[in-house]
Amino acid sequence: MKVLTIIGARPQFIKAAVVSRAFKEHRPDVQEIIVHTGQHYDANMSDVFFDELEIPKPDYNLGIGGGTHGQNTGRMIEKLEGLMMEVQPLWVLVYGDTDSTLAGALAAAKLHIPVAHVEAGLRSFNRRMPEEINRVLTDHIAEILFAPTETGRQNLLNEGIAQEKIKLVGDVMYDASLFYKEKARKPHLPAELNIEGGDFVLCTIHRAENTDDSQRLKNIFQGLGDSGETIILPLHPRTRAKIADYGIAIPENVWVIDPVGYLEMVWLEANCRLVATDSGGVQKEAYFFGKPCVTMRDETEWVELVEAGWNRLVGADAQAIENQVGCEVPEAAWQSIFGTGRSAQVVVEEICQLSANKPSEVH
């Protein structure tokens, strides 16, 4: 059985690596073919990246990236269609909510190849976000939908998707966090920065709704500065450029460092006191490591974390950011919201079982 896995961004490689290991360990009879669309060029994705994280290298790299959402998606569909016709996979496996996700799902659907969607059912209910459009369309194309949480499963049911297509499996990123925690390493930090005892806040800022709005970005840095906390900010190059364009002064308590690799990021998440971010993935990873999170967005697709008291939405309100980043950690019980750490194995088992039970429906 051939499974064509389509990925286009660095976080997707980490998610796919967990499932790839599960295929090799539990179903070595499955031939997985990995395609990198090239959507996100990342200089950190060198041989070292794949070797250190034990990630299989792509069988194909389509080299598509750098254009608009429409340009990229259209070019991806064209190349993926040709590749699918050549490879003839039994399944196409996609992850998350990138343009690569949607392109893979559309190309497969046109060729009547069933799609399996990992991380299905997430909703921010903000249709201005390209990711939201990608999620919704991919979910309605997919033949099997792997929801990471009960909320995700309910979202799919509310949209009229058949119950038998939805599988509540937990989150493969929780599997990844358990696997990589033992391999994490401390990043290079300024010698004068004393963070012994984990008394620091980890911050990331990259989302366009914040970086493309000068007032929002100024408010965020004002709130971070007024909190008085020691804040470590691995700064995305795009955010760095916007800060310069807007003439924003970095507060003295905010320590800007270069972007870090995944293993260094895991170390920072595991050793900080609190996380402040606008990233969807980092919100989850904070919870995986038992850290409260302040989310500098107006909504989140991970509503379970807000309801559980581990995530606090503050938007770009300077006063709210100051108050929440500087406050005491709330006493909230940690629950297994995202599964037991074997989500990837369940994904593999479900795909193989569906293939065995319904061979006539899979072409």
CB of 40 within 8 A of CB of 363?
no
Q: Which amino acid is at 139?
A: D
Instruction: Please say if 117 is a catalytic residue.
Output: no
User: DSSP string spanning 227-287?
Assistant: H---EEEE--HHHHHHHHHHTPPPPTTEEEE----HHHHHHHHHH-SEEEES-HHHHHHHH
User: DSSP string spanning 77-142?
Assistant: HHHHHHHHHHH--SEEEEETTSHHHHHHHHHHHHTT--EEEETTT-----TTSHHHHHHHHHHHH-
Determine which one of 40, 69, 206, 236 is catalytic: 206
**Within 10 Å of residue 197's Cβ, how many Cβ atoms?**
8
Match 């750098």 to its residue by tokens. Answer: 66
Q: What angle do CA 340, 126, 124 make, to 5 degrees?
A: 10
Active-site residue list = 206
